Amino acid sequence: MSTRLAKGGRLLDRSKPLNFTFNGTPLRGFQGDTLASALLGSGRTLLGRSFKYHRPRGLVASGVEEPNVLVNLGRNARLEPDQRATTTELFEGAEASSQNHWPSLDFDIGEINDKIGKLFPAGFYYKTFMAPKWAWKHLFEPVIRQAAGLGAAPKEADPDRYEQTYAFCDVLVAGGGVAGLAAALAEAKAGKRVMVMEQTAFWGGRAPVDGGIIDGLAPDEWVRNAIETLEKMENVQLFTRTMVSGLYNHGYVIGYQRVADHTPGDGRPRHRLWRIRAGLVITATGALERPLAFAGNDVPGVMLASAVRDYVVNWAVSPGDRVVIVTNNDDAYRTALAVLDAGLSVPVVIDARDSVTGALPMAVKARGVRVLEGRGIAKVLGRKAVTGVEICAQAGEGGVIETVACDCVAMSGGWSPVVHLFSHVGGKLIWDEAGAMFRPDATRPPIKADGTALARAVGAANGALTLDALCAEAGLAAQVEPEAPLAPVWVMPAGAKEALKFKAFLDYQNDVKVSDVQLAAREGYTSVEHTKRYTTLGMASDQGKLSNINGLAILSDALGQAIPQTGTTTFRPPYTPISFGAVAAEAKGEIFQPLRRTPMHGWHEAKGAHWEPVGLWRRPYCYPRAGESHRDAVNREITNTRTNVGLLDASTLGKIVVKGPDAGRFLDMLYTGMMSTLPVGKCRYGIMCNENGFLMDDGVVVRLSEDSWLCHTTSGGAEHIHAWMEDWLQCEWWDWKVYTANLTEQYAQVAVVGPKARMVLEKLGGMDVSKEALPFMSLAEGTLGGFPARVFRISFSGELSYEIAVPANMGLAFWEALNAAGAEFGAMPYGTEALHVMRAEKGFIMIGDETDGTVIPQDLNLGWAISKKKDDYLGKRAQARVEMARPDRWRLVGLETIDGTVLPDGVYAVAEGHNANGQRNTQGRVTSTYWSPTLKKGIAMGLVVNGPERMGEVLDFPGDGGVVHKVKIVDPCFYDKEGEKANV
Amino acid sequence: MLTFTCPYCGVVAEESELTGGGEAHLKRFGPGSSDAEFEAYLFTRKNPKGVHFERWRHAYGCGKWFLAARDTNTLEVFGTYPAQTTEPPADLIAAIKNKRPGWEGWK
Ligand SMILES: [Zn+2]
């Protein structure tokens, strides 16, 4: 059983004990512990259950590659599932619990899955849940959802703070081991701006545990010197607890800093996401040790050899009293030495190689340890904890030669460079036969915008797995025991029978075994990407860390091809999971997106306006009074406007000035109508189409002077239309002399609407707004009630109406002056819904209601707004297409239910017969529908096949619940067809 | 996230400062053009795996449209230039030919 050693622990501060709980049991660790080392040091080896078979699982690794021990951390709003115990620094009061079991970790009902595991082969989900069709939704999915998943999701909002920050550097070094620090020193001394990011809390990587001499110094000492030097340099920034999670195009890099995970509640943001533009990324991300695939390699107590020595050396934790080493390389012998140095026993080293002669094995032998050559593990004994191993010939089928009792197995299948970052944006890998590994191909790196290399791999991440190799690469002197070559071992023993392969795990987290990958190959999965998805090998948080090479090798063997022919799956960021909090950071709640406010916004808010979002604006939908429903308020606002006078904040209307000698010519191209002939001081309704001929925006155009026009756009359309204008001016007609300026926010605009509108303006005084001085569709400029104003005599409601623009900073004062002056005439503000109903009563179209990107002006009976005199305008050629002239196009009509009720929005008129899908044929649809308080009945507009030729026809519009609405086709103008109300 | 150097203001602009505008150097066909010409203008795009000439606007910067030559496969940007031209600059074409000897040209 595991325990804390009395001495040692290079990362521990034994003077600072820390209390924590696991599954409710109080336990104790030290400052410097990870949750994993503290659990192991407390004698806990059974720490979780596997995903599919619910097999008992313990720690395999000591770092980011740990597949098994993912825990729930914290509680309530701070509950976070799937936290990796090996990368969670212990803190006082930490609360952790194991996942994926019921009712308890020790006794788990789900373990039955393991007993019937033969029923869950590769592709189980695909094979089982195909039929019958109904069963997925009603049977399989609910059952799987209940049983699947690891941790529990928190139900409350995250109370912690997260932030993002931006940075630029010449060189970003990912990884703070010897190779990374050496590279950082070289780059910094060359004057580069350098950022160094190390994912753990400590500098130095593996070297301090693995040993050797660097430039005459012990690794710890060399690392300390390097950090001291770097810290003094102004062009260097050092970050621990910061993982480079991904490389993206053109040198964009994400760094994930765990600022305060280890000091919760200290007021700092929990995580910080660094968004970096780097000139060069040096990937010094080290290497990960590979497991060996033997039966029972997942029993708690079977660990990576490097992890065993990490626990012993870094945290003074003994993973077991009797540690059997099983290996195909010399490096694992370092673990034997570390275990022996800690006073523990190594009963045997099982080496798959036929001849073992290296310096490290000799040193182990010299300590009296038995070293077996050409041997492997047939099977691990024990279920919830290792009790021993059965030893066999590696070349054989698993016949047991002897059984050795032990409580820990340290395995090493060699090492794989961490190539993830190098590969994220297209860096290529090469297969290194001698090292049996993929490593970065320096001749085919990921590239930047200028085509030069974005990334360079160094050290173990570049395949320089030994200290002497990486020091040689970095120009440092090294002394270290030489290592003999490894012998690739993908299955142990080589001829393992099905029963053994069935318990030999490749991917612990997803419960993928050697037998699963071989089955996939037999079933025809020849692509590694397909095999990954079919078997789930390397999915979830593993992402090719532990499982990758072993799985590829077994697939290659089953397919009878070399490993490089099989290739790797695609490495995708993030390297390890990052928090949603860091991704979202401050972009939540009120600052999720900007809010655009008109100058009168605060006034509307104070009056209790009910808001309608329009683009980024908020516009008052209506102003409900006490006891009034929204519908009541809308009806009141309409009736008051049509009877007395209403005030509308129209400031959101787009206002673009187009000016210059060629401005008229330009607007003639932009609008379907003729704008160049508009007299100064006059207004004209205009519509714009895209080159497909479809309607895209509309509004009133005003000629301000000989060479300048003011173009009103829809509220949501100002930016888009301004960009559209600029596109044509810059990219097509760049020799035309025209300027545009989007002045939307420079002016506040108010519509004063209704029979008493003129009286309100006359009360304000200062301008002649009579019918004679300011006729319909004209402009006057002057001073109104002391405000510099442009007064447009235009109407969107059919009433006598003025739209008045004043400088934005006077908007609120002007609005208040209008309300005050209007009080005696019954003036009331009205909102967007009243605006919409009144325009529908008049049969005016609304962009986005009557148009949907497939509607041409001719469909909306707007032929009158298309100039017949012009040779060209945007959309003209498209409108000449055969499709656009079809006689059976859907065209605008008014619609009235026979019983006067309001039609549901969006319903369709059915026609005779059915289409190929067995649905009723259709012949029209509703585009706008309202209750008209003016007409006291429902009114609607819609598009109907050849509609204007079918006045008086009654169509069927099926609604919900079998109701069929009988609807008559009528003229779309329901109110004051002669236009007398506006013309006063 | 791509970066382009705006040829107007000289800023190395992040993709999030820009809006894309599709293929560059399209010739507009208006009234009087044949159905085939108009269809090609509206809908037929090159979509190469390799060198592509495209439109970008420095929308959240100087507001100018510019053109860029970019490899759609490697994402290498060979150069950017102002939009007020009907064809790519000769020196840019030469530079691309130098880097991509097999390139069939921009037309
Ligand atoms: Zn610019």
The yes-or-no verdict on residue A949 having pLDDT over 80 is yes
Could you tell me the CATH superfamily of domain A160-288+414-483+575-592? FAD/NAD(P)-binding domain (3.50.50.60)
The yes-or-no verdict on residue A230 having pLDDT over 60 is yes
Class of A503-561 per CATH? mainly alpha
pLDDT digits (tens, 9 = 90+) for B50-95: 999 999 999 999 999 999 999 999 999 999 999 999 999 999 999 9
**Centroid of ligand 1 to alpha carbon of B82 (angstroms):** 10
The domains spanning A160-288+414-483+575-592 and A291-413 adopt the same CATH topology: yes
Residue of A nearest to B56 (CA): A727
- Is B105 a member of any domain? no
Does A447 contact chain B (CB < 8 Å)? yes
pLDDT of residue A102: 65
Average confidence (pLDDT) over A855-861: 97
pLDDT of residue B106: 86
Which has more confidence, A887 or B6? B6
- Is B106 a member of any domain? no
Token representation of residue A326: 């099983």
- A826: number of Cβ within 10 Å: 15
| Record: contact A730-B30, CB cut-off 8 A | no
The yes-or-no verdict on residue A130 having pLDDT over 80 is no
- A806 min Cα distance to partner chain B (Å): 27
ipTM over 0.95: yes
- Is B71 a member of any domain? yes
Would you place residue A1 in the very low, low, confident or very high pLDDT band (cuts 50, 70, 90)?
A: confident
- B25 min Cα distance to partner chain A (Å): 9
Number of domains chain B contains: 1
- Residue among A835, A841, A837, A875 nearest A855 (CA): A875
**Average pLDDT value for chain A:** 94
pLDDT digits (tens, 9 = 90+) for A573-602: 999 999 999 999 999 988 899 999 999 999
**Centroid of ligand 1 to alpha carbon of B60 (angstroms):** 8
**Centroid of ligand 1 to alpha carbon of A737 (angstroms):** 21
Does A871 contact chain B (CB < 8 Å)? yes
- Give the one of A277, A447, A730 whose C-beta lies nearest to B83's C-beta: A730
- Is B30 a member of any domain? yes
Which has more confidence, A139 or A917? A917
The CATH number of residue B33's host domain is 3.30.2270.10
Q: Quickly name the fold that domain A291-413 has.
A: FAD/NAD(P)-binding domain (3.50.50)
Q: Is the dihedral angle over the CA atoms A351, A353, A355, A361 positive or is it negative?
A: negative
pLDDT of residue A982: 87
| Record: contact B30-A877, CB cut-off 8 A | yes
pLDDT digits (tens, 9 = 90+) for A433-458: 999 999 999 999 999 999 999 999 99
Q: Half-sphere exposure (CA, 13 Å, Cβ side) for A838?
A: 29
- Is B104 a member of any domain? no
Q: Using a CB-CB distance cutoff of 8 angstroms, which residues of chain A are in contact with residue B34?
A: none
Does B16 contact chain A (CB < 8 Å)? no
Q: How far apart are CA A922 and CA B26, in angstroms?
A: 38
- Is B107 a member of any domain? no
Range name among A47-56, A235-244, A258-267, A504-513 with the lowest pLDDT average: A47-56
Q: Using a CB-CB distance cutoff of 8 angstroms, which residues of chain A are in contact with residue B64?
A: 730
Token representation of residue A66: 């740990």
pLDDT of residue A432: 95
Average confidence (pLDDT) over A386-397: 98
pLDDT of residue A141: 65
The yes-or-no verdict on residue A126 having pLDDT over 70 is no
pLDDT of residue A136: 65
Does A732 contact chain B (CB < 8 Å)? yes
CATH number (3.10.20.440, 3.40.47.10, 3.40.50.300, 3.40.1710.10) of A1-157 reads 3.10.20.440
pLDDT digits (tens, 9 = 90+) for A330-363: 999 999 999 999 999 999 999 999 999 999 999 9
Does A881 contact chain B (CB < 8 Å)? yes
- Residue among B28, B75, B76, B25 nearest B54 (CA): B25
- Give the one of A248, A723, A877 whose C-beta lies nearest to B59's C-beta: A723
Does B84 contact chain A (CB < 8 Å)? yes
Geometric angle at alpha carbon A510, from A504 and A513, rounded to 5°: 20
Question: What residues contact residue A424 under an 8 Å CB cut-off, 6+ apart?
Answer: A246, A247, A248, A446, A571, A572, A573
Does A167 contact chain B (CB < 8 Å)? no
- A740 min Cα distance to partner chain B (Å): 12
Token representation of residue A28: 């104790």
pLDDT digits (tens, 9 = 90+) for A628-672: 999 999 999 999 999 999 999 999 999 999 999 999 999 999 999
Average confidence (pLDDT) over A464-475: 96
Class of A610-652+746-839 per CATH? alpha beta
Could you tell me the CATH superfamily of domain A851-970? Aminomethyltransferase beta-barrel domains (2.40.30.110)
| Record: contact A732-B4, CB cut-off 8 A | no
Would you place residue A137 in the very low, low, confident or very high pLDDT band (cuts 50, 70, 90)?
A: low
The yes-or-no verdict on residue A484 having pLDDT over 60 is yes
Q: Using a CB-CB distance cutoff of 8 angstroms, which residues of chain B are in contact with residue A736?
A: none
- B24 min Cα distance to partner chain A (Å): 9
Q: How far is CA A297 from CA A99, A303, A378, in A?
A: 21, 8, 10
pLDDT digits (tens, 9 = 90+) for A11-45: 999 999 999 999 999 999 999 999 999 999 999 99
**Centroid of ligand 1 to alpha carbon of A168 (angstroms):** 20
| Record: contact B1-A249, CB cut-off 8 A | yes
pLDDT digits (tens, 9 = 90+) for A354-372: 999 999 999 999 999 999 9
**Centroid of ligand 1 to alpha carbon of A825 (angstroms):** 52
Question: What residues contact residue A618 under an 8 Å CB cut-off, 6+ apart?
Answer: A595, A596, A597, A601, A611, A612
- Residue among A116, A125, A122 nearest A519 (CA): A122
User: What CATH architecture is A654-744?
Assistant: 2-Layer Sandwich (3.30)
Q: How far is CA A828 from CA A375, A608, A834, A981, in A?
A: 93, 14, 12, 19
Does A450 contact chain B (CB < 8 Å)? yes
Would you place residue A128 in the very low, low, confident or very high pLDDT band (cuts 50, 70, 90)?
A: low
Q: What residue segments make up the domains of chain A, in order of their start?
A: 1-157, 160-288+414-483+575-592, 291-413, 503-561, 610-652+746-839, 654-744, 851-970
pLDDT of residue A639: 98
Per the structure, the complete domain to which residue B19 belongs is given by 3-99
Would you place residue A116 in the very low, low, confident or very high pLDDT band (cuts 50, 70, 90)?
A: low
The yes-or-no verdict on residue A119 having pLDDT over 70 is no
